[in-house]
Structure 1
Amino acid sequence: MTGPDTSAETQLEAFTQALCDELLQRPEPFVIVTCDATLSFRLGRFAQLHPEHVVDVGIAEATAVAAAFGLARAGLRVVVAGFAAFLSLRALEPLRSLVALHRADVTVLAGMTGLSAGRDGVQHQATEDAALVRAVPGVEIVAPSDAASARALAAHCAANPGPRWVRLVRRPVTLRHVASDTSRVWPPARWLAQGDGSVLLCAHGALCEQAEQAAQILTDRYAVTASVLEVGRLAPPPPGLPDLLRPYPAIVACEDQTGPGALAAVLSEALTAPHSESHADPASGLPGSRLLRCDLTASPGSGDYGELLHAAGLTGELIAARVAQSLVTGPGTSTGGMP
């Protein structure tokens, strides 16, 4: 299996460079607090040029978020950068009690989400962060997919106050989709492929690449037309999400998160929203009868990112095969991503 394309711009690099450029152009004072992650977030050059804007507190995620709250109360715009696994577990309490409950202008850059930490080790993988942070009221949870959407999201973050949790991966994300809107407006949800088929593949962040591949394989190999929806914001959910889901008998959640609470939960809640136009036969047992979960039931361990996706059943080919099988056994099949 081939390794990552190290020549292409990574999603994280595109986002952090664009965010720094945006913040430098704005009049508000700002500071970036990193958790021994200045180099991991490709901020070394920026720290050399603008040392007054970067503070590294070391491997101390709870301290970083608590300090960010204090700096925000002093009138600064604050960005915290660190590994998503440790920020979501070690710093969840200050994120809730200080940042979220006091509506502090803090944006957390949660890097190496899902399985993307790869060979850094299984302990670095953030396969619960979206669900954990989504349980904290008032925190916007967003993720770009490719580099272009990363730059648009950076502009959104610079123009809008937190609290915010930005999920990033340190690898290139390649999409076939070319946005018709050339403005810098970042959409909470966007179509990557839209058709009249019965299947809707939904993905968040880097998994949009696998969802697009799965849709193409479904068309080429299984003669199944599938649409692809990028759900870039998990909290609050994108406006009109129930109506985007409504026409599709089978909906697939593609994510490298474990269990409920992240994208699958967002889709499930949209399907059962009180004011949703998602009409269904009560005997069909919604939402389970329409929602197929392609996620994680257990960690596949450490290793190359592509190998981990394969072990978890989350490559485009394996997602397509799972969807095709579900169409035979009935869309009521709900399962995790591990084969």
Structure 2
Amino acid sequence: MKKKIKIYEIFVLIFLTVTLLLVPLSGDRFYIYLACMFLIYSVYAIGFNILFHYGRLLSFGHAMFFAGGAYATALFTLRIYSDPVIGFLIGVLASLPLALIVGFLSLRHTRIYFALLTLAFSMFLYTLLLKLRDITGGSDGLVGIPKKGILDLSSPISYYYFIYVISVLFVIIPVYFLLNSRIGLIIKALGSNEERLPFTGYSILNIRLLTFIISGIITSVSGSLYAILMGVITPEIAYWTYSAVPLVITLIGGSNYFFGPILGALVYLILTTLFARFAEFWQLILGIAIMAVVLGFKGGMAEMLTELLFKIKPSLRGEV
């Protein structure tokens, strides 16, 4: 029974991989940009959902990893060595000590206390980015992040495929198999039955910390890619409201499904793009639309599509 679901999920992975590979054939720079943002949001939400759904820990400060990766990439490429690929790697590596320190200090608490601690750390980073003007550029941010180095990422198509390879081949697919591996089962056990986890011989705190680090590293990948794509970053990406983005995306798509955050990223991007033209009221309209989706489909869009699949083929209902 499980095998059929696995085959279905593999089919979705293949479909996603092939479809995204063909996006640049449109030749439209705007669509390519939207596809880049879709992949960045997908990675951001997947990183968040590892902690939120599988680890059962709600973070209100995940923007610190997004901003941490973005600023580490920008500072390295602007101040040390002008290469976006190496800068990207530095941005991802910089998240490891950040996740280790924040995780060690906050994971001894759970529920609302953990959420508030992550919010506090995120706002602390936001304040540093604002105040250390000589280093971070203050409220003006960092401008002119290079796109040329080992690889020339200056054209939309070349950079899209760079994001595609990193997001799909090095994040989405590996994370899927990670969550279905032995380590993934341990992480899932943390969220499903924390009390019994110690009987397996694993420390709850250590598994929490591992989950937090994996989540932080994946989130920093999206931040580093965002910095290179935009060429400019500001402290706003570390503000608490930006930590709400992956939460909203995950709720829209459905946190109970691996592909939920990816579907949520697509819906969120479509909604923000459509309603952005209403300059004065777009956030209000977006909020109403998101409320309608979340309240209408409590399990997210992924659950709605799953139920639709069950109606088409009822025999699949027993396979979850």
Same fold, judged at TM 0.5 (above): no
**Structure with more relative contact order (C-alpha pairs < 8 Å, separation 6 or more):** 2
* Structure with more of its chain in strand, by fraction: 1
Higher share of residues assigned helix: 2
TM-score using structure 2 length: 0.27
Task: Using structure 1 for the length normalisation, give the TM-score.
Answer: 0.26
